[in-house]
A and B are shown apart, each in its own frame.
Chain A
């Protein structure tokens, strides 16, 4: 969906800013909002670009830095941490060839950490573009990644 059509769903009220940003970023394959788009949103709502940028900078689900097609978020809080999460991260880093916070050279995957996903009863857990994967083992992780790799080819 274009930015215009998303904007047109909202009244020109400052209070819609976060919703607009979340909804619009959802439509972007690189999971990021550009400076020009910030300008467009600011103009629509009649607020400063600084204001829009400050909201993006605060929320971890929003970004101005382009990411890979699939964003893999691994939970590393205590319930996952004590349930072999580090092995999961190590596996991901190895098969993707990147560290947390980085994007693969083919722009397919970005690996990052997330705060608790509320799946502590099925720890360790991760989320890929909104979909939760839980009770992970290194083997499961490998299978999930190859499935995503297959999807894009």
Chain B
């Protein structure tokens, strides 16, 4: 322990803590701007400065390690003046049209200026407007709002290992942009949205599609249905200021009905379907000398990454569409037929934790009917939160409603898709029982749970031990892909999720996601699983009925047409 004094309080804190950590654990507030708990320390914004006795300049609390006997002042007039001056400098070069910004009221700069009591700016505006980067379906970059905190660069380069964004130029000409000032779509962006998730201001945000949904909801000829991804039920509550890890499945259904959706369905259903198709594909590959290891295909960020960076390994990726797209395909075929609706009049909205899903929904391959996307609009968790606020819905106090049929019965296996390792665990529950012909004694594959970047387990199938791996975030995905490319991967099956922690940490999830939030959402996810009456996809009676009524058999012709897809090498940029 280290003893120090902050604002005349004697404190003992763990060795190696920063002044900021020491202050925060003792409920002393120091404002920050560039600092983000899960990212490397940038120490660029200089907002968190404090005065240390005996030191001439001011020190940034986010980067200064405590020393014994240190005497710190966090709120001296000199400190407050410095913070105010720095904030004014930022604001003088910022498009501070707050009411026209998607981050209004969730912007860290706005709240900082408010806390510091800034009402006028001594400095003249030096903003020169640059064009927006909106040439892709997922994200919008607005450089006029960028405060050059470097978070997005760090996340893209060091967490995701992609490196689309960098600091270009210097001095006040510094910009945070892709190479050659190109658009994200011109480079090798995966649309994972992790940059948008950490941006403190409205400089990178998801493309807001709520208007399209409002229009559809008000369009009387349209039968507007919505599917809700597994990870939403453990995160949407945060949009209503409830605690992370609050399970709110039933409230979501109620809320969506209040918004005016005709039917509210659960993506968990097609997650179960994915397990049946993907499980069978794996068994087929294992038994017929197919391409191994097989890799999962549910995550569109991962698919974008693989197509651009590792075209060689595409044959390893399962041909199964993601649960979102399986749902879309069924909605505009099976469901439309069943309800006697024109596919063109069925409007499918997805609520996803993900910005890359917006891109996925627009892919040409994702069309059961020509010229008709299977999924019309994808909204992120945050966008749904916005719609709830627009409608004045008191989410916390809503009653609970079950999902609608015919996709109403789902399993615990599907519920865990949202957490890294969930798809693997769900697949193993099914594959084990199908191949070995005996029930599992323990359904919990705890080896593959949690936040570790790469997790492994060994499972015996037909007496033979196979190795299975789970990777989350693209840096770890790259490790897997490299080994597969080199032919040295020891695994039979690899689950890859592009976002840290899986979809519960997706780029479209509520702002402020940090490790603690991820852990809370993961815990809630496994609680949902444990509470389900059925916990294995192959025991879902509604799935069995779907095959009976419509699909015939796993990997059959109808499945092939509706539920499977293929991938292409795209303008991949080498990037090792």
Residues of A participating in the B interface, judged by any CB pair closer than 8 Å: 35, 38-39, 42-43, 46-54, 57-58, 64
Contacts and interface: CB of A to CB of B under 8 A. Distances in A.
Given A35-B180, A49-B179, A50-B187, A57 B574 contact: no
Interface of B: 162-170, 178-180, 187-188, 573-576
A48 B179 contact: yes
A49 B187 contact: yes
B575 A46 contact: yes
A47 B168 contact: no
A54 B168 contact: yes
Contacts of A47: 163, 575-576
A58 B164 contact: no
A47 B169 CA distance: 18
Contact of A38 (B163, B179, B188): B179
A53 B179 contact: yes
Contacts of B188: 48
15 contacts: A38-B179, A39-B573, A42-B574, A43-B574, A47-B575, A48-B162, A48-B179, A48-B575, A49-B573, A50-B178, A51-B163, A51-B166, A52-B179, A57-B169, A58-B169
A70 to B, nearest CB: 25
A48 B573 contact: yes
A58 B169 CA distance: 5
Contacts of B165: 50
Across the A-B interface, the 4 shortest Cβ-Cβ residue pairs: A46-B576, A54-B166, A53-B179, A49-B179
A58 B52 CA distance: 33
A33 to B, nearest CB: 11
Contact of A54 (B162, B167, B573, B575): B167
A53 B163 contact: no
Contacts of B576: 46-47
Nearest to A55: B166
Contacts of A46: 574-576
B574 to A, nearest CB: 5
A125 B33 CA distance: 44
Given A49-B187, A53-B168, A42 B163 contact: no
A36 B429 CA distance: 50
A101 to B, nearest CB: 13
A53 B166 contact: yes
Contacts of A43: 574
B163 A58 contact: no
Nearest to B170: A58
A50 B168 CA distance: 9
A54 B178 CA distance: 9
Contacts of A38: 179-180
Contacts of B166: 48, 50-51, 53-54
A153 to B, nearest CB: 35
Contacts of B178: 50
Contacts of B164: 48, 50
A36 to B, nearest CB: 11
A37 B36 CA distance: 36
B169 A42 contact: no
A43 B167 CA distance: 20
A92 B79 CA distance: 48
A50 B176 CA distance: 10
Given A47-B575, A48-B188, 9 more contacts: A35-B180, A38-B179, A39-B573, A42-B573, A46-B574, A48-B573, A52-B179, A53-B166, A54-B179
A51 B169 CA distance: 12
Nearest to A39: B573
Contacts of A51: 163, 166
A51 to B, nearest CB: 6
A50 B170 contact: no
Q: Which of A46, A49, A50, A57 has the most CB of B within 10 A?
A: A50
A82 B573 CA distance: 50
Nearest to A59: B170
B179 A50 contact: yes
Q: Which of A43, A48, A52, A58 has the most CB of B within 10 A?
A: A48
A42 B576 CA distance: 10
A46 B576 CA distance: 5
A29 B375 CA distance: 53
A53 B180 contact: yes
B181 to A, nearest CB: 9
A52 B178 CA distance: 11
A64 B180 CA distance: 9
A7 to B, nearest CB: 14
B572 to A, nearest CB: 11
Nearest to B575: A48
Nearest to A46: B576
A43 B180 CA distance: 16
A39 B187 CA distance: 11
A57 B168 contact: yes
Contacts of B162: 48
A47 B574 CA distance: 7
Contacts of B167: 54
A64 B182 CA distance: 14
A57 B168 CA distance: 6
A61 to B, nearest CB: 13
B161 to A, nearest CB: 10
Contacts of B180: 35, 38, 49, 53, 64
Nearest to B166: A54
B177 to A, nearest CB: 8
Contacts of A50: 163-166, 178-179, 187
Contacts of B179: 38, 48-50, 52-54
A50 B169 CA distance: 12
A47 B573 CA distance: 9
B475 to A, nearest CB: 14
A43 B179 CA distance: 14
B337 to A, nearest CB: 47
A115 B168 CA distance: 20
Nearest to B167: A54
A5 B291 CA distance: 39
